[in-house]
Chains A and B, each alone.
Chain A
Amino acid sequence: MKTIEQLSIFLENRTGRLGEITQRLADMGVSIRTLELVEAGDFGILRLILPEVQSVKAQLNAQGISAKITPVFAVEIADNVGCFHRVVSALAQEGIDIAYTYTVHNGAQGAFVIKTAGKDITRAIARLEHDGITVLDAV
């Protein structure tokens, strides 16, 4: 399975809260690969892809921070016009809804990180690979 474990952390929307989390991650010596912050009024969700996610989650939970592991997958960004459209339309044809997506860039390589309903992930990856789209093992 080419799914990637993403860590989602609940954040109250108040000054300094994000800093408290990033401080803890730095203290653990964690290198953050990708980061996305979603804001919804009085709370937000911080989505992270990082190494040793199970251990990080356990440590955060032990410190009283609510965190959850969510399976996502990453698709390579081909350097041509319309590549994201091909991903989206393939999933649409399969009847698979994208819950959310964001992009990451790591030097020369870029990827779309995609979240679908858990039951759809295997089918989504199979369809994209069938279409010649590269699904990454890691980001």
Chain B
Amino acid sequence: MIWNKAESAPREAIEATQVARLRETARRVYAISPFYKKKFDELGVNPEEITCVEDVQKLPFTKKKDLRDHYPFGLFCVPMSEVVRVHSSSGTTGKPTVVGYNAHDMDVWNEVMARVYTMSGASAEDVVHNGYGYGLFTGGLGFHTGAETIGAAVVPASGGFTDRQLMLMRDFGATVLACTPSFALHLAEVAAKAGNDFRKDYKLKTGIFGAEPTSKGLKEEVAKAWGIDYHEVYGLSEIIGPGVSCSCKHSDRLHIFEDHFLAEIIDPKTGEVLPEGERGELVITTLTKQALPIIRYRTGDITSIITEPCACGRTHARMESIVGRADDMLIVNGVNVYPSQVEHVIANAEGVTLNYQIIADKKGHLDKLEILVEVSDAILVDNVGEMERVKKDIQASLLNNLYINATVRLVEPNAIERSVGKAVRVVDKRGD
């Protein structure tokens, strides 16, 4: 099933829509946003000159830093009276990144999420168990109102409380599971304690998984563990939240909803656009967002895009499942973490050195994060209780500022490995 015939429009029609919407978006930001006006003027570009999709390459990039520099609402292009929803993700140096939606943007979000659900085989007949976190993150509420849009019954389970979630899934007869792939596997593992034939107690038929990088092996494991179809969703709050792209049952690649998002692949070093099919950094321009239109957003995600036809009938271009990052961002249980954010927290903790190391590892199927902090004479207070407090303070600060549960471990000076005098800040042990 295809939700909207725009998804199977001829390529020429898709591009015609993109050009018109790109020009309109460029006009709006140029007229309303001093930030964009300045950047356009510096490059000497005029929105009226946009006559083909490739003209997007004349426009300036937007980075996460730009959102941070204009915290909280500086890049909004509608008055707050028109804004109906705000979300945020953790920022790189303490301040979060804030995004806003007006009623029209909510319609766009619900439209693309309706496509995601439909592409995954869900309809009004289904019970959607939504295990994405509700709150400032876009995951929970994006999946929630999207499910309502297709008329499905949605169970707003949010994250955590594994046993209770399994009970709800059984008792409410959930047919669609929406959560991170690692949590889906964790759920299956706990469910399997009831016996290897645990699947007879559940009615799941499909799942929509995302928010963290996922290997082919993990996808197959989740699909097999639950005996369901695996659909991958991609998105980011700066663009809209979940619903930028999704995989159909015919391909591992994800269809990008190109009538709403214009995607490019660039060389992250030079900024040059790469030929179709080559891997590089994904750059997205929103074509229909009003409250926070974004021009050429540097996602930092590494992928490739192809436009060849898909067996499902959709003509929207397909991106690879994210293969890596152009920067040092880590994704921990679906939460984006930059080492600089951790450093900022440690720098603000009292009496602690800035010698630290972030260790990402797996505990079962879930990610765990351990932060090693070197002690110094300043932190050593000959008082076990005091040192435990220092640990707990840093942990609480990481949770409050970055929304991550990390274990802090105090280690001796010079215990953290250094290569050529430079400390190794991140050790990721989660590889397959």
Contacts and interface: CB of A to CB of B under 8 A. Distances in A.
Contacts of A45: 380, 382, 384, 387
Interface in B401-415: 409-415
Contact of A67 (B377, B388, B414): B377
Given A12-B415, A40-B387, A40-B388, A66 B380 contact: yes
Contacts of A64: 412-414
Given A40-B388, A66-B375, A47 B382 contact: yes
Contacts of A61: 377
B412 A66 contact: yes
A68 interface: yes
B31 interface: no
A38 interface: yes
A10 B384 contact: no
Nearest to A57: B377
Interface residues of B, number: 18
Nearest to B374: A66
Given A40-B387, A40-B388, A43-B387, A68 B410 contact: no
Where chain A touches its partner, the secondary structure class is: strand
Contacts, number: 49
Q: Which of the four size classes fits the interface of chain A?
A: 20 to 34
A78 B389 CA distance: 37
Contacts of B415: 12
Interface in A9-64: 10-12, 17, 38, 40, 42-43, 45, 47, 61, 64
Given A10-B375, A40-B387, A43-B387, A67 B380 contact: yes
A64 to B, nearest CB: 4
Contacts of B383: 99
Interface string A110-129: 00000100000000000000
A70 B412 contact: no
Nearest to B376: A66
A67 B375 CA distance: 10
Contacts of B86: none
A42 B384 CA distance: 11
A12 B415 CA distance: 9
B20 interface: no
B409 A42 contact: yes
B382 A65 contact: no
Contact of A65 (B384, B387, B413): B413
Contacts of A66: 375-377, 379-380, 412-413
B16 interface: no
B142 to A, nearest CB: 39
Interface string B208-234: 000000000000000000000000000
A115 B381 CA distance: 12
Nearest to B410: A43
A68 B414 contact: no
> Which residue, of B375, B382, B384, B414, has the highest number of chain A Cβ atoms within 10 A?
B382
Nearest to A61: B377
A61 B415 CA distance: 14
Contact of B382 (A11, A42, A43, A70): A70
Contacts of A47: 382
A64 B384 CA distance: 21
17 contacts: A6-B382, A8-B380, A10-B380, A10-B410, A17-B412, A40-B384, A42-B409, A42-B410, A43-B410, A61-B377, A64-B414, A65-B412, A66-B377, A66-B379, A67-B380, A68-B380, A70-B382
Given A8-B382, A45-B382, A45-B387, 14 more contacts: A10-B412, A40-B384, A40-B387, A40-B388, A42-B409, A43-B410, A43-B411, A45-B384, A64-B413, A65-B413, A66-B380, A67-B377, A68-B381, A115-B382
Interface of A: 6, 8, 10-12, 17, 38, 40, 42-43, 45, 47, 61, 64-68, 70, 99, 115
